[in-house]
Amino acid sequence: MNFIDLLDKISGKEALEEKSSRRESFQKIKRIGKQAALASIPFALAATGKKTSAATMAMPAASAMASPTDILNFALTLEYLERNFYQIGLDTTGLIPEKDKDVFALILDHEKSHVNFLAAALGGLADPEPTFDFTVGGALDTFTDYGTFLLLSQGFEDTGVRAYKGQAGALAIDNTLLEYALQIHSVEARHASQVRRMRGEKGWITGNGSVGTAIAAVYEGEANTVQGGVELKGLFDDFGGTAAITEAFDEPLSMAEVNAIAGLFIV
């Protein structure tokens, strides 16, 4: 699949560029004061010498954080993408089997609402809807092959989950927006779980994506086993081992990583 090659090419580069330094991590603390003692221990850096990728440490430093407006527009673009994708899918005769239409109709309803909400929140600052090409110039049989449609759906939903998660830290300056973003984030995760299971995969992500999924960039960094600076590998061998550890935590993607994925489908 050309799509996979394309995604493979873009994976990893932004991750390296976004790597946080130790110094920066001290700036991640939202507020000081009573919490200073707690905050002064950078939990995520407790394990020294561990090579940690951007995906596991994706909280950008304050100086690198996007503004709330940028984040809302970033989210709006993703929701435009999903809304457009599902609308075309449902409008394409013979693509989605009858038994699956209810699921995608609900997902479309949710994405429409997310678009409306984000556009309303942004008002005059809202970016216009891009023009999408889900076939990537004809390379993909997205709307003629249900398997491809499902694969892209899974990729978009899992990317959406990772995208919102990656902006949580930057939204911490605005509790209202942060909470709204979290309320969308978990709905995208519900979608992702459902679509993954319709494809015969687990609802959760094992390692760097699951068997049968070759959309590598979407799952870059998902195999992380270091959480809060603690290497969990080897501690849960009687409880599903490394596979379960990677499933138990979803990882964020940076804005650049997400834009690289979404950008493939924007003309």
Looking only at residues 28 through 57 of this chain, which bind another protein when binding is defined by CB under 8 A?
28-31, 34-35, 37-44, 46-47
Residues in contact with 179: Cβ distance below 8 Å, sequence separation at least 6, in sequence order = none
Choices 10-18, 124-132, 147-155, 241-249 (CB under 8 A): range interacting with another protein: 241-249
Q: Is 255 in the site for another protein (CB under 8 A)?
A: no
Q: Is 107 in the site for another protein (CB under 8 A)?
A: yes
* CA distances (Å), origin 228, targets 48, 89, 158, 217: 12, 40, 22, 23
Among 81, 205, 96, 224, residue whose Cα is nearest residue 150: 96
Q: Is 229 in the site for another protein (CB under 8 A)?
A: yes
What is the number of residues in the chain?
Answer: 267
List binders of another protein among 52-91 (CB under 8 A).
58-59
Binding mask 177-216 for another protein (x = CB under 8 A): -xxx-xxxxxxxxxxxxx--x----xxx------------
Q: What type of residue sits at position 141?
A: D
Among 258, 222, 227, residue whose Cα is nearest residue 243: 222
Q: Is 242 in the site for another protein (CB under 8 A)?
A: no
List binders of another protein among 154-173 (CB under 8 A).
161, 165, 168-169, 172
- Looking at 12, 24, 88, 112, which residue binds another protein (CB under 8 A)? 112
Q: Is 122 in the site for another protein (CB under 8 A)?
A: no
Residues in contact with 140: Cβ distance below 8 Å, sequence separation at least 6, in sequence order = 1, 2, 3, 134, 148, 152
Which bin fits 223, alpha (ψ -120 to 50), beta or left (φ > 0)? alpha
Q: Report the chain's terminal Cα–Cα distance, integer Å.
A: 19
Residues in contact with 219: Cβ distance below 8 Å, sequence separation at least 6, in sequence order = 158, 205, 208, 209, 213
Least distance between another protein and beta carbon 105 (Å): 8
The number of residues that bind another protein (CB under 8 A) is 82
Cβ proximity to another protein, 108 vs 215, nearer residue: 108
Binding mask 123-152 for another protein (x = CB under 8 A): ------------------------------
Angle formed at CA 137 by CA 161 and CA 205, multiple of 5 degrees: 25
Q: Is 236 in the site for another protein (CB under 8 A)?
A: yes
Q: Is 226 in the site for another protein (CB under 8 A)?
A: no
Q: What type of residue sits at position 165?
A: K
Choices 70-78, 88-96, 108-116, 138-146 (CB under 8 A): range interacting with another protein: 108-116
Cβ proximity to another protein, 125 vs 230, nearer residue: 230
